[in-house]
Amino acid sequence: MKKIVLLSLILTIGLRINSQQILLTQDIAPSTSFEENRESYPIVNKINGSIAIFQLDDSLFYWKHLDKQYNIIGEYSTVRPEDELEHLLGITFADNKYHFFFSNDSKRDFLVQTIDILNNKSSARYLSIEFMNKKEWYLNSFSYKNRFYILSVKKRSSLLIIYVFEGNELMQKKELDFSDYAFSDTRYSKLFDVVDESISSYTCRPEIQLVDNKFPNTLDITSKRNKIYCNDNMIQMTFDNEINKTIIISIDLNSFESKVKIYKQKEIDYRDLLNLKSNSFIHNNILYQIIASRQEMNFSIYNLISDSLIQEYSVKKDEEIVFKNSDLVQVSGTTYSSQEEEIELDKTKQILRKISKSSIGIAAYQLPHNIDITIGGYEELVRNFTGAIMPTIAVSLIYHFNPTTYGYFSYKNTGSVYFKSLLNPINFAHVSGNIPRNAFDEIKEFSNTIEYKITAETIFKVDDYFVYGYYDKSEKKYYLRKFTDDLGLDQLHYLRPNQR
């Protein structure tokens, strides 16, 4: 037993040291625009392990080419696209050329900028896409396996259109008709209707949240009613506009075959519909559903391959939440002059009351040995000119190209009420013990120590660890640091012998 404790201590200390490992340090002249905010976009070459870090400021487009040991093997800069086309949507790579797809706020104009890293050349051209004629609505876009995809929906229909780019050329356009399915119990039951429901006065367009479930997600992301996931050569689109069900569209990206499935929510006790909320989350072909009112909460887990219910957890307002592994926490978010404030809640009825008044959400993240579940509610926050945070009902969060960095900033700045639970990844039974710290926790703790002297932050994943990049304004240096998830050594005894 003493040997096990000693081994755990040694490994824990080793992990902490490893989390502070510096991969790259580079001096940056103060005359560059690093003193201002700069966006960073990292790309990892899966074939040779090299990394390209592209950075944009107000006028220029920089890139650094690193080998797998994080040595700089090339640098280049060029003029960035015009201001109106400032949103980077995706990237493809072929023949030593990176192709960057930009758009404007309205998603009506598109431009692709090509950077030839072998010859240090750059070129740009506008793209002609049919839904510029306003007969289609842009939904979202993403890069996957060196292809760039744009999704749109035809107005007042259930016709989904997928544009596929390879290099900087449009190679395919696929139209999928879901007119045989009702996406709502109301007369507004077309696909366009359910995405149109998420329009706010701030966005003025349909919205579907892109989710990368390979890293920790916060409730501001997962509480969106319409979401899209991309894994294993498949798109999975979820619609939780109806309280009593989750609708899933699955599309094979090779054959473009599709299917629609409906998963009913558990019926629970409620007194009024306004305080009845539901949502879902997909992770590794597992559907997590949550439904809650002031009186009761139900948490269900389905296997999407076998269509079977695996586990179900329920709690009423006067009961203890026996499947939680953390306190019931309310987070106030951050301001420009203070860190987030956490308030511990005493009773189940408190968190149920707050969840039922907010946007409900659930998230799952694969830790080294267990699954970390976050359940709670999110109230969107906006800062006024003084830096103070104010609640708002419908402020759209703009999702840019790098989902890992976006997820981290959401993780770092959020206003929510939640609790966490640990589940066994085999049978999804509740596992007791403390929640291990993930890499985002480590990065957040580290960045808080230097928060007011850093800029150009970015995060990307390489193999089984995360890389945190930032510019330290006081040192005038650019850093890349390595961070990893906590192994959760106090959970090892819950695993089967062959998993240790």
Q: How confident is the model at residue 75 (pLDDT cuts 50, 70, 90)?
A: confident
Q: What average pLDDT does the segment 25-43 reach?
A: 67
Q: What are phi and psi of 406, to 5 degrees?
A: -60, -45
For Cα atoms 289, 293, 295, give the angle at the middle one, nearest 5 degrees. 120
The predicted pLDDT at position 381 comes to 53
Q: What average pLDDT does the segment 42-60 reach?
A: 81
Map out the domains of the chain as residue ranges. Answer: 213-438
Among 93, 146, 96, which Cα is nearest to 121's?
96
> CA–CA separation, 478 vs 457, rounded Å?
10
> CA–CA separation, 123 vs 47, rounded Å?
25
Task: Tell whether the model's pLDDT for residue 322 goes beyond 70.
Answer: yes
Q: Write out pLDDT tens, residues 412-452.
A: 555 689 999 999 999 999 999 999 888 888 888 888 888 66
The predicted pLDDT at position 191 comes to 96
Contact in structure between 154 and 192 (CB atoms under 8 Å): yes
Q: Positive or negative CA dihedral for 216, 139, 253, 400? A: negative
Q: How confident is the model at residue 14 (pLDDT cuts 50, 70, 90)?
A: very low
Q: Write out pLDDT tens, residues 456-498.
A: 788 888 888 999 988 888 888 889 999 988 755 444 433 333 3
Q: What are phi and psi of 91, to 5 degrees?
A: -140, 140
The predicted pLDDT at position 108 comes to 85
Can you give the three-state secondary structure of 339-405, one letter per residue? CCCEEEECCHHHHHHHHHCCEEEEEEEECCCCEEEEEEEECCEEECCCCCEEECCCCCCCCCCCHHH
> CA–CA separation, 490 vs 280, rounded Å?
29
Q: Helix axis angle, 439-448 relative to 403-412, nearest 10°?
A: 60
pTM of the model: 0.85
Among 276, 208, 295, which Cα is nearest to 248's?
208
Task: Tell whether the model's pLDDT for residue 395 goes beyond 50.
Answer: no
Task: Tell whether the model's pLDDT for residue 4 goes beyond 50.
Answer: no
Q: Reduced to 3 states, what is the DSSP secondary structure of residue 196?
A: helix
